[in-house]
Structure 1
């Protein structure tokens, strides 16, 4: 890996990921609307608003691969999500096409499938079940990645990140947490593995609470080094009835009427008593 760009570099995940990633690249270009702190010798800042295509094109000039973290991490304001997550993702890929960037690692989210019940183990090839406007925007980004592989040959790894906080702070986050160094390992796979096309994996460390079948990540060489329970600092958090029922947790409660509904793989009604 030579010249790699990281969008959203001043954000929480970018701040945690930078120390690991910059060890393995010749140069790391940090793209954001805010300048990150403490730039290393092989890092540089590029100010850009990805909702503006011309700025996205300029920011990716001379770049070999992109780690796309930019966007809103939640929320229900569709105007804001359309600008940051929807238009931003599209412009990022269009700028990559114009600049002949070969690789993109897209920071997707577990909220793209958050309406699956917690008792059901799912894999990346199961249908999307977004749990919120935010989750819906991440589904869009994964589909954009597929489009640009099919039309332009840009290889993408979409990582459905579980919880990338500094440490797990709830029982739910223990089930889905990923450490910065494990996430960096997946990012490196996405930037270098020869079999990546438009590939989706889950971003989770070595947890005992299996919600996701991540066999594809394993076949690509992913070997998580950290166990969430070893880092947990549990806070007193009470989840509501809807949040407890689904993998997306509190995101599932957004605009929810409180009536828990389940459906099977064919989209038919699934009775609650049949859920393990």
Structure 2
């Protein structure tokens, strides 16, 4: 069991599902976000309000930690100036603080939007070149390259989880892109407990029949998703409107993010259900 883990973005929807399993992997879990309170804490968990965009707020929390699980960011497309602090500078602050405090590894919530302008018909692997669909996706590219550089130059390991869509399945894209919460937990657990990872990328997607990405070159992480969105296919396809072959959102990996103008919300049209876990 590790001595200490730090989770950023603990107040978010995905963070809410990670807190309990992470608390069982270490003696001390420090959860952090920008809200005043995250409610009842799990055994061994403490909460610290901090802004990842401010180095002096986030860095002290990493002292004595083994690893940091970095999920803290704005999780939508916004004007570049709004994303600059949380999504760009925030990543630098986490990696630099992790290096300064001698952490072994950063586990990072990257996104399919780092490669979102690849065509969905291209069965892309983890070595697909960056092709961001938004400023949000650009921040993921920046953070992945930051992770690669800190491994090459400073020996700080990282696993970048290119999450596709971790939300309830309510559209045709999600039949391929779905990542269940149970598989999310398995993915993060493997990113933590694999003995050596160097710099690694893995797609965060469940074992969907229609998965549009290839994790073969990340198989050493031991991530073997169990859930399959095909269970929802009959209902979703029966209710789906006809495919528009001229819609970039339907033809590219980034979905709606591939279709919006830069700076405009990609989440607005996605009808994401906020089924955040409550303790």
Question: 1:157, 1:199 within 8 Å by CA — same for their partners in 2?
Answer: yes
1:147: which partner in 2?
A: 149
Q: 1:237 to 1:44 in 2, by over 3 A?
A: farther
Residue 200 (str. 1) matches residue 192 (str. 2): no
| 1-structure distance, mates of 2:60, 2:93 | 11
**Residue 163 of structure 1 is aligned with which of 162, 165, 170?**
165
Question: 2:200, 2:218 within 8 Å by CA — same for their partners in 1?
Answer: no
Structure 2: unaligned runs, 5 residues or longer: 263-279
Residue 253 of structure 1, CA deviation? 1.3
Alignment RMSD: 1.9
- Equivalent residue of 2:125, what SS? coil
2:248: which partner in 1?
A: 242
2:22: which partner in 1?
A: 21
2:64: which partner in 1?
A: 62
Q: 1:237 to 1:36 in 2, by over 3 A?
A: farther
Question: 1:118, 1:245 within 8 Å by CA — same for their partners in 2?
Answer: yes
- Equivalent residue of 1:255, what SS? coil
- Equivalent residue of 1:138, what SS? helix
Instruction: Give TM-score, length-normalised by structure 2.
Output: 0.86
Q: 1:40 to 1:204 in 2, by over 3 A?
A: same
| 1:186-209 CA distance string (max 9 Å, x none) | 212222223301110100011001
- Equivalent residue of 1:143, what SS? helix
| 1-structure distance, mates of 2:211, 2:5 | 32
Question: 1:112, 1:128 within 8 Å by CA — same for their partners in 2?
Answer: yes
**Residue 40 of structure 1 is aligned with which of 35, 42, 45?**
42
2:11: which partner in 1?
A: 10
1:88: which partner in 2?
A: 90
For 1:228-239, list aligned pairs within 5 A.
228-230=229-231, 234=236
Residue 111 (str. 1) matches residue 113 (str. 2): yes
2:274: which partner in 1?
A: none
| 1:19-43 CA distance string (max 9 Å, x none) | 3332332221101111222211211
Moved more, 85-94 or 15-24: 15-24
Residue 237 of structure 1, CA deviation? 6.7
| 1-structure distance, mates of 2:20, 2:232 | 19
| 1:45-88 CA distance string (max 9 Å, x none) | 01111111111211211211110000011122111111110000
- Equivalent residue of 2:210, what SS? coil
2:260: which partner in 1?
A: 254
Question: 1:104, 1:190 within 8 Å by CA — same for their partners in 2?
Answer: no
Instruction: Give TM-score, length-normalised by structure 1.
Output: 0.87
For 1:121-140, list aligned pairs within 5 A.
121-140=123-142
Structure 1: unaligned runs, 5 residues or longer: 257-276
Residue 244 of structure 1, CA deviation? 1.2
| 1-structure distance, mates of 2:56, 2:255 | 37
Residue 131 of structure 1, CA deviation? 0.7
